[in-house]
Homo-oligomer: A and B are copies of this chain.
Amino acid sequence: MAVQKPSIPKGTRDFSPEESAKRSYIFDTVKRQFQCFGYQPLETPAMENLSTLLGKYGDEGDKLLFKILNSGDYLSKIPQGDLTPESSSPLATRISEKGLRYDLTVPFARYVVMHQNEISFPFKRYQIQPVWRADRPQKGRYREFYQCDVDVIGSTSLLNEVELLQIIDTVFEKLKIKVVIKLNNRKILSGIAEYLNASERLTDITVAIDKIDKIGLNAVKDELIERGVSADSVGKLEPILLLEGKNQDKLNTLRKILASSETGIKGIEELETILAYAESLSLSTPIEIDLSLARGLNYYTGAIIEVKAKDVAIGSICGGGRYDDLTGIFGLNNMSGVGISFGADRIYDVMAQLDIFPAESAATSKVMFVNFGEKEAQTCLGLLALVRKAGIAAELYPDSAKMKKQLDYANRKGIPFVALIGENEIATSTMAVKSMASGEQHQVAFHQLNDFLTNQ
């Protein structure tokens, strides 16, 4: 067989031990908080039936689904007449029944509908799994990436929104990332559309507003006009988007503007309740009402949330909102829920840029025993068992290679201590333990090694 130079598909990544360990640190931190707030894990398969996925993410999303070729004779039932070089699109769903999941929300909705009789509602679940999108790969955008979703479904209480804000607050505090939470409400956006006499344009308006951060106010205005919103309406919208001041000031002004919109007022009241709770909990993360926050996804119906890092210019690193009819597409109505998703890849980038991964996240051995030969190795094996029993990661270099090679290995792997046990050390039951960072050497009795390592 000819030897091939290996590669991986574009848009995908290998994660080295160092990267994997750092990623685990993020996942573990997030997971611990999810659990602390009473959320339970859920896992769904990587492959879903295409019928579950298609039509849920818009035409653009359908195109970005990775489809899995049917096994076996996938063409045998396709008539010759249907097989032409132009038939890629119509044939796709006839030769592939399954696709890779595109997000964790649709599989979650599917799960809830399939298991509605076993689930104890409100159902608080978290899910940390990869998703796949056939997007054009570019810096910071991958074809395989992880989502960390946390949702509660089956409760309309605004305490759930408050709880998600608490989770955001705690997670980023633990990760030591300074963030600001942006908050808005779809009902307010509906109210604004009513006020503009453009209710039937709500989607156009939210889609356009959603881009304000990227393309700026003027471009958004142009786009609205292009989408058929009247110049008069666009003129009335501008001061709303430019509203400044404290949250309560914004809401007070808005309450006057939207006075005639029942929906709009409802949205304002919801935000006021949420903010009052948040205030009483003295969260350390600032929360800002941002009326230009729209979030593209159509299924949101209440509060919408986005989190931005303060010290790094990057898009939102967490976001979500309230939806009233996510499970309706699968036949289960009246299931209101609210959830957020942490963007692990962007959080990683932020932490890498700020260089704030803690040393413990390295996941390497605390000590390596140098291998001086068979007899010495035998002694090391016994000591290793004791060290590991105390939960301390440790290893013995497997070959009695040259000292330099062994120390190089420890160094490259970031192992902080090496233990040297030769004939003399065996005779005195004492070893030399060397700190790789300082070069300092300590004499440590065999039975005191655990204590020594624990205190370092």
Residues of A participating in the B interface, judged by any CB pair closer than 8 Å:
1, 3-9, 12-17, 19-21, 23-24, 32, 35-38, 40-49, 51-52, 55, 63, 66-69, 71-80, 83-89, 91-92, 95-98, 100, 110-111, 113-115, 118, 120-122, 124-125, 130, 132, 134, 143-144, 152, 155-157, 159-160, 162-163, 166, 170, 277, 280-281, 328-331, 363-365, 368, 371, 377-378, 381-382, 385, 388, 391-399, 408-409, 412-413
| Interfacial chain B residues near A152, Cβ < 8 Å | 398
- In the assembled complex, how far is the CB of residue A34 from the closest CB belonging to chain B, in whole angstroms? 9
Q: Are A75 and B85 CB-contacts (below 8 A) given A41-B363, A68-B69?
A: yes
Q: Is A40 touching B363 in the complex (CB atoms < 8 A)?
A: yes
- Which of B4, B15, B143, B393 sits near A42, CB closer than 8 Å? B15
Q: Is B160 touching A40 in the complex (CB atoms < 8 A)?
A: no
Q: Is A75 touching B86 in the complex (CB atoms < 8 A)?
A: yes
Q: Is B385 touching A38 in the complex (CB atoms < 8 A)?
A: no
Cα of A17 to Cα of B112 in the assembled complex, Å:
12
Q: Is A41 touching B12 in the complex (CB atoms < 8 A)?
A: no
Cα of A156 to Cα of B91 in the assembled complex, Å:
52
| Interfacial chain B residues near A89, Cβ < 8 Å | 73
Cα of A13 to Cα of B330 in the assembled complex, Å:
18
| Interfacial chain B residues near A100, Cβ < 8 Å | 46, 68
Q: Is A44 touching B5 in the complex (CB atoms < 8 A)?
A: no
Q: Is B331 touching A36 in the complex (CB atoms < 8 A)?
A: no
A-B contact pairs, 28 of them (CB 8 A): A4-B52, A7-B114, A8-B114, A9-B49, A12-B46, A14-B43, A14-B115, A16-B118, A17-B41, A20-B42, A36-B388, A36-B393, A37-B394, A38-B394, A67-B69, A68-B69, A69-B92, A73-B88, A75-B86, A75-B88, A76-B86, A83-B83, A83-B85, A155-B398, A155-B399, A156-B399, A163-B398, A281-B385
- Which of B3, B44, B74 sits near A330, CB closer than 8 Å? B3
Q: Is B85 touching A9 in the complex (CB atoms < 8 A)?
A: no
| Interfacial chain B residues near A23, Cβ < 8 Å | 43
| Interfacial chain B residues near A52, Cβ < 8 Å | 4, 6-8
Cα of A364 to Cα of B155 in the assembled complex, Å:
19
- Which of B9, B24, B88, B365 sits near A38, CB closer than 8 Å? B365
- In the assembled complex, how far is the CB of residue A220 from the closest CB belonging to chain B, in whole angstroms? 30
Q: Is A159 touching B75 in the complex (CB atoms < 8 A)?
A: no
- In the assembled complex, how far is the CB of residue A79 from the closest CB belonging to chain B, in whole angstroms? 7
Cα of A42 to Cα of B77 in the assembled complex, Å:
42
Cα of A32 to Cα of B391 in the assembled complex, Å:
8
- In the assembled complex, how far is the CB of residue A263 from the closest CB belonging to chain B, in whole angstroms? 22
Cα of A100 to Cα of B71 in the assembled complex, Å:
13
Q: Is B3 touching A329 in the complex (CB atoms < 8 A)?
A: yes
Q: Is B85 touching A395 in the complex (CB atoms < 8 A)?
A: no
Among A32, A42, A68, A143, residue most surrounded by chain B Cβ atoms (within 10 Å): A68
Q: Are A6 and B330 CB-contacts (below 8 A) given A75-B85, A152-B398?
A: yes
- Which of B8, B76, B398 sits near A122, CB closer than 8 Å? B398
| Interfacial chain B residues near A78, Cβ < 8 Å | 85
Q: Is B381 touching A162 in the complex (CB atoms < 8 A)?
A: yes
A380: nearest residue on chain B (CB-CB)?
Answer: B159
Q: Is A396 touching B159 in the complex (CB atoms < 8 A)?
A: yes
